[in-house]
Structure 1
Amino acid sequence: MAAEVKLGTPLWRAVHRYRTAFITVAILSAVLNVLLLGGSIYMMLVYDSVLPSHSLPTLFSLLAMITIVYAFQALFDMMRSRILNDVGSALDQNMQPLVQRAISEAALRGGRFSGDGMTPMRDLDNIRAFLSGTGPTTLIDLPWIVFFLVVLSMLHIWLGVTALVGALIMIGMTWMTDRATKAPTQEIGQLTSYRSGMAESNLRHVEVLTALGMRERMRDRWSEVNKVYLASNDRLARSVAVLGGSSKVFRMFLQSAILTVGALLVIDGKASGGVIFASSILSGRSLAPIDTAIANWRGFASARAGWRRLNDLFARLSAAGDAVVQLPRPSKELLVEQVVIAPPGTQRVTVQHAQFRLGAGDALGIIGPSAAGKTSLARALIGVWPVLRGSVRLDGATRDQWDPERFGEAIGYLPQTVELLEGTVAENIARFEPDAPSEVIIAAAQAAGVHDLVVALPQGYETPVGSDGTQLSAGQRQRIGLARALYGNPFLVLLDEPNSNLDQAGEEALEHAIAGVRARGGIAIVIAHRPSALARVSHVLFMRDGRQEAFGPRDEVLAKIMSKPIPINAGVEAADNSRGEAPRKAAGGER
């Protein structure tokens, strides 16, 4: 049963696809190991046949044959190296999407990995490097030690016994290498991620660190982590160097010991002179896989640790596959039923028993004091946070009934902190959709009122935004983020503090965008602290301390909460000012 479980993991299934390639490598290795006898046989024949007879034709005939043998050795060795390199690259390509998906799911569930969060990617890199290197060939060659020991024993039993004792000692050294490198390898894997994450964080926040005089302190913190990282690497390198050096020295000593045994056999008349040199070569070849394994144990240990971590990751996180039945895009309603929400990875409830319904053409304003649970609710509505209890349904279906990509196409989202990705303005608006139609991109920009702003940029829609949109101002990022949220006319558009960085023109464009979503039969949800964002909504949801205290038509809810002396901070200001701006309603009327 355990074997079946292991073979059921994504990594095992991926490797199993290349079983034909591994069988081919094993066959090539078998032929190579047999051909490796050629050098020993050649030397033995030269000493035992050519030198006593002084026969040049025999010598040159043997030379021609061994040349052909070496040519085939080179060819087969190149072939198996090429096959393993292709297998490593193919495995990486096949597993990379699943690893990326698992990293994303872990982040969404609050299980983000320490440091830079890229440990699974490095684990896959280590596995690929191991498969593409000498690791698999070394493991495949290890059983052939028995073959060479048998050949040595056929020359003379004492040669085989001597080589066997040496092999057992070197196997013990391999076991010691594994024990010595296991803990440092795991520690280095964790420290690598943490060290990279800290360096990336210092770079990302360099402006704040400079302004507050914190650069030296943060650099010192990184240096302390780096010292621990270097110390772990040093311990690992010392362990590998000591045991690897010892194995090499012992193998040379063993060859000398076998030469000594061979010489004693020749003196005793039990072996020929050629046997001495042939046995020396054979013993070296028989123990070479162990020596290579010790020398490359660090890569093997890293790949093994990465394999285990990835299998654990895939076991914890179910990779969402394509839905069998493709549901149509939602177009009717959003239903929230007794929803309870907690941040992923915690049990701290931030929203309790929220319940409401919105139909096509509705717009909801969510207001309330800070830490009321507004953003938590928003993240659950668009499916990036899980729901502990209750459900969120679009046209009667929960999020898990949709293919993730198809569901995302029906959602428009503008977070508090607008995050643009490295690329052009057009690519960001189009959500990096390949070959996105220009008219659809422009339509989204016009719906967000940002078309004129974009064409005024140096390269228009092809203007690079830079890393995290740093080439643009905060207001430009927010308006381009709004255009991205509106791209493709999504049914549910959620805007979290969409006017925090907008000027008067931006505020007017935002109102127009909300009205446009309603006019085409979509649903708009706006989390607001400033009054202008509520001018075009039909409903208001008031939250406090994670609870829904009021929901209904905008004017009724605002009148209700303003009739009570409730210190709701920015929520009061939003409500009060919105009442004064009630005449600024959508042209199509309010629901």
Structure 2
Amino acid sequence: MVVIAVSAGTAILDLLPPWIIRYTVDRIVLRDAEVTLLAIAAALMGLAVLHGAADFARLYLTARLGQRVVHRIRTKLFAHLSRLSFTFYDAASTGDLVTRATADVDTLSQFFGRSAVIIVTNLLFIIGILVVLLSWHPPLALVYLAMLPFIAAGMFVYARRVRPAMGRVRKQLSALTGRLETTLSGILVVKVFGRERFEAARFESTNRAYRDASVQTIRITALWMPIADVIMGLGTALVLLGGGYGVIQGDVTIGTLIAFTLYIGMLLRPIRQTGMMLSATMQALAAAERVFEIFDTTPEVRDRPDAVRLADPKGSIEFAGVSFAYDGKTQAVGDISFRVEAGETVALVGPSGAGKSTLVHLLARFYEPQSGRILIDGTDTRGVTIESLRAAIGIAMQNVFIFDATIGENIAYGNPSASSADVESVARMAQLHDFVSELPMHYDTPVGERGVELSGGQRQRLALARVLLRDPAVLLLDEPTSSQDTATERAMDAALEAARAGRTTIVIAHRLWTVHHADRIVVLDSGRVAELGVSTATESAHDSLMRAGGLYRSLYDLQFRSESHDVALGRSKEGGQ
């Protein structure tokens, strides 16, 4: 309301100079001795100062309004994005989401902070001029008003054409951002395969599409100004013709004709500008559609109204007839059933694509099963709050993500209140401390974007330390020692053995010799449980599956022969040297 009031005040101040000029001219023509030109000049100067102050207030307040609006929208958008399920991100483009959260929201900021207020100010100014003209000489004012339907028709046609064009521009900008993000993220692969020219050509093609969409919008926008100028010029000519005739007849004073002409000239700017702001409005509408499309997306995984906190979790887990398909059609896992007692270690093994990672994602409620139930401590995971469920689960995957922060901040990410002693303790457990202690800044060492300053093995050890610091009841591990050298791997195996004590641990195993210690081994094939090995007092789960001679035995023998061949080949090369 303050912004509108200031804008209205600015519009009123804009109306006064022609009024004063009309008064001055008519007094001079009448040779009025009481006219004080100095006072009139002083009044005009005073108006200029007031107008400048009002303009400053309007510009500042509108800019602040725009920034407040965009801050609120962007904050809520980020919070909403963080709540959306993985199914949303599976189908979304990172570049598109970044564009919506930055460029599209900035477009809304420009609309609320500039365009909307300019439109309101211009409309108030136009209405004020028309009221003044009608009060001075209605017939002459009506001559000019006859042009307004043509202006309105032009604006309507312009709006209909420019809105879809603006939508295409926003879409192409998202594609351009996505192409850039993808290429930069995969720059190592691009360089390894010498595909710089290919990627440059693809970027140029996307960039050209964005350019063409922008040029089309500019072409539509550029048509508006000459159309408005022609219509306004015709109106001005008619007013001068009618006003001049009125002066000759004595119906119109010279001051009135001059003021009429000044007001008509002043109308040209807001009418042209309103048309341009209409373009900005269409651009803002296109951006708003894209932003609110995200707000309209509801998380598929969310807390039920009656969800309870998972208090003091012990870690028993049960999959009961669980089926799931990522796209709702192609089944990833089907009718999965097995139980894990608290404190047990379970290995998930099977060929690539068998559904091992899917089960881990379902347990953490990154996705919801289409059928069946997953129980933790006898409670359906859908009946507990997501926050408390994930607080009870620690996940260390092969493809780890490291933030652009220090080593200590990355380790403490899931437990910011942890002491430096706690951070060092889990780093020792993950066999990371010796490396960190050799660095000049120790745990305050920045690791760069995505942990670029660390090796693959160091990133995995950091991720493992980050998980262990949370002290979860359930550990989900995707073979976290796969990127380690032999000596470090053995040390980490011992550390993991200690970490598993008292915790339920589910390990996605790619190298089968690492699962000999498992209490249970679930063998998956094509999304179903093919075999299940359970340790007894006399026989390990591994031995029972080897004795059964099924899929597990086949996978183990195949892997053993492959590794034996690699070792023999390495020795042969060493002998040849």
Q: Return the TM-score normalized by structure 2.
A: 0.87
Q: Among 105, 113, 116, which residue is 1:132 paired with?
A: 113
| Structure 1 position 574, deviation (Å) | 9.6
Deviations 1:306-361 (A, max 9, x none): 21223332222249689897725552233333221222x44221011222333432
Cα separation, 2, equivalents of 1:395 and 1:340: 20
Q: Among 446, 460, 464, which residue is 2:442 paired with?
A: 460
Residue 334 (structure 1) aligns with: 317
The DSSP-based 3-state class of the residue aligned with 2:91 is coil
Cα separation, 2, equivalents of 1:513 and 1:322: 38
Confirm whether residue 545 of structure 1 aligns to residue 526 of structure 2: yes
Match for 1:340: what amino acid?
A: S
Cα separation, 2, equivalents of 1:58 and 1:399: 86
Deviations 1:28-87 (A, max 9, x none): 233332332211211111111145436586222223333333333333332233222222
Cα separation, 1, equivalents of 2:233 and 2:479: 73
Deviations 1:354-400 (A, max 9, x none): 22333432221111111111011111112222322223343455555
Q: Among 369, 381, 385, which residue is 1:387 paired with?
A: 369
Equivalent positions of 1:580-591 (< 5 A) are none
Deviations 1:462-509 (A, max 9, x none): 222222222211111111111122222122221113222112233234
Q: Among 121, 134, 139, which residue is 1:158 paired with?
A: 139
Residue 6 (structure 1) aligns with: none
**8 Å contact 1:511–1:533 — kept in the other structure?**
no
Q: Among 133, 151, 154, which residue is 1:170 paired with?
A: 151
Confirm whether residue 437 of structure 1 aligns to residue 419 of structure 2: yes
Cα separation, 1, equivalents of 2:5 and 2:515: 73
Deviates more, 1:260-269 or 1:435-444: 435-444
| Structure 1 position 414, deviation (Å) | 1.6
**8 Å contact 1:262–1:271 — kept in the other structure?**
yes
Residue 273 (structure 2) aligns with: 292
Cα separation, 2, equivalents of 1:512 and 1:154: 94
Tell me, which stretches of 5 or more residues in structure 1 are unaligned? 1-22, 578-591
Match for 1:440: what amino acid?
A: D
Cα separation, 2, equivalents of 1:559 and 1:85: 72
Confirm whether residue 508 of structure 1 aligns to residue 486 of structure 2: no
The DSSP-based 3-state class of the residue aligned with 2:521 is strand
Confirm whether residue 210 of structure 1 aligns to residue 191 of structure 2: yes
Deviates more, 1:201-210 or 1:257-266: 257-266
Equivalences, count: 553
Q: Among 390, 396, 399, which residue is 1:414 paired with?
A: 396
Match for 2:109: what amino acid?
A: R
Which structure 1 residue ranges, 4+ long, deviate > 6 Å from structure 2? Answer: 321-326, 574-577
Deviates more, 1:548-557 or 1:180-189: 548-557
For the structure 1 residues 106 and 304, does the alpha-carbon distance in structure 2 shift closer, same or farther, using more than 3 Å as the test?
Answer: farther
Deviations 1:246-296 (A, max 9, x none): 324543554444333322221221111111121123334445443212223
Equivalent positions of 1:140-155 (< 5 A) are 141-142=122-123, 145-155=126-136
**8 Å contact 1:337–1:392 — kept in the other structure?**
yes
**8 Å contact 1:444–1:488 — kept in the other structure?**
no
Confirm whether residue 317 of structure 1 aligns to residue 301 of structure 2: no
**8 Å contact 2:516–2:542 — kept in the other structure?**
no
Confirm whether residue 66 of structure 1 aligns to residue 44 of structure 2: yes
Residue 111 (structure 1) aligns with: 91
Deviates more, 1:52-61 or 1:211-220: 52-61
Deviations 1:64-120 (A, max 9, x none): 333333333333332233222222222222222332244442654333147443242
Deviates more, 1:36-45 or 1:431-440: 431-440
Deviates more, 1:214-223 or 1:54-63: 54-63
Residue 261 (structure 2) aligns with: 280
Deviates more, 1:556-565 or 1:351-360: 556-565
Equivalent positions of 1:364-375 (< 5 A) are 364-375=346-357
**8 Å contact 1:336–1:391 — kept in the other structure?**
yes
For the structure 1 residues 132 and 342, does the alpha-carbon distance in structure 2 shift closer, same or farther, using more than 3 Å as the test?
Answer: same
Residue 573 (structure 2) aligns with: none
The DSSP-based 3-state class of the residue aligned with 1:350 is strand
RMSD: 3.0
Q: Return the TM-score normalized by structure 1.
A: 0.85
Match for 1:209: what amino acid?
A: V
Residue 10 (structure 1) aligns with: none
Deviations 1:105-143 (A, max 9, x none): 265433314744324213222111211123333145426
The DSSP-based 3-state class of the residue aligned with 2:318 is strand
**8 Å contact 2:310–2:385 — kept in the other structure?**
no
**8 Å contact 1:262–1:276 — kept in the other structure?**
yes
Q: Among 22, 37, 41, which residue is 1:44 paired with?
A: 22
**8 Å contact 2:12–2:128 — kept in the other structure?**
no
Match for 1:66: what amino acid?
A: L
Match for 2:547: what amino acid?
A: S
For the structure 1 residues 97 and 34, does the alpha-carbon distance in structure 2 shift closer, same or farther, using more than 3 Å as the test?
Answer: closer
The DSSP-based 3-state class of the residue aligned with 1:417 is coil
The DSSP-based 3-state class of the residue aligned with 1:449 is coil
Cα separation, 2, equivalents of 1:380 and 1:334: 12
Match for 2:334: what amino acid?
A: Q
Tell which structure's C-alpha radius of gyration is larger: 2
For the structure 1 residues 40 and 381, does the alpha-carbon distance in structure 2 shift closer, same or farther, using more than 3 Å as the test?
Answer: same
Q: Among 544, 561, 566, which residue is 2:545 paired with?
A: 561
Deviations 1:197-241 (A, max 9, x none): 112222222222222122211211111111111111111111112
For the structure 1 residues 55 and 560, does the alpha-carbon distance in structure 2 shift closer, same or farther, using more than 3 Å as the test?
Answer: farther
The DSSP-based 3-state class of the residue aligned with 1:134 is helix
Q: Among 67, 70, 82, which residue is 1:89 paired with?
A: 67
Tell me, which stretches of 5 or more residues in structure 2 are unaligned? 562-577
Residue 523 (structure 1) aligns with: 504
Deviations 1:137-170 (A, max 9, x none): 3145426534432321111123322332222222
Cα separation, 2, equivalents of 1:414 and 1:400: 23
For the structure 1 residues 355 and 324, does the alpha-carbon distance in structure 2 shift closer, same or farther, using more than 3 Å as the test?
Answer: closer
| Structure 1 position 544, deviation (Å) | 0.8
Match for 1:188: what amino acid?
A: V
**8 Å contact 1:340–1:351 — kept in the other structure?**
yes
Match for 1:117: what amino acid?
A: L
Cα separation, 2, equivalents of 1:179 and 1:350: 46
Cα separation, 1, equivalents of 2:71 and 2:146: 44
Residue 120 (structure 1) aligns with: 100
Match for 1:451: what amino acid?
A: H
Identical counterparts, % of pairs: 25
For the structure 1 residues 39 and 545, does the alpha-carbon distance in structure 2 shift closer, same or farther, using more than 3 Å as the test?
Answer: same
Deviates more, 1:156-165 or 1:328-337: 328-337
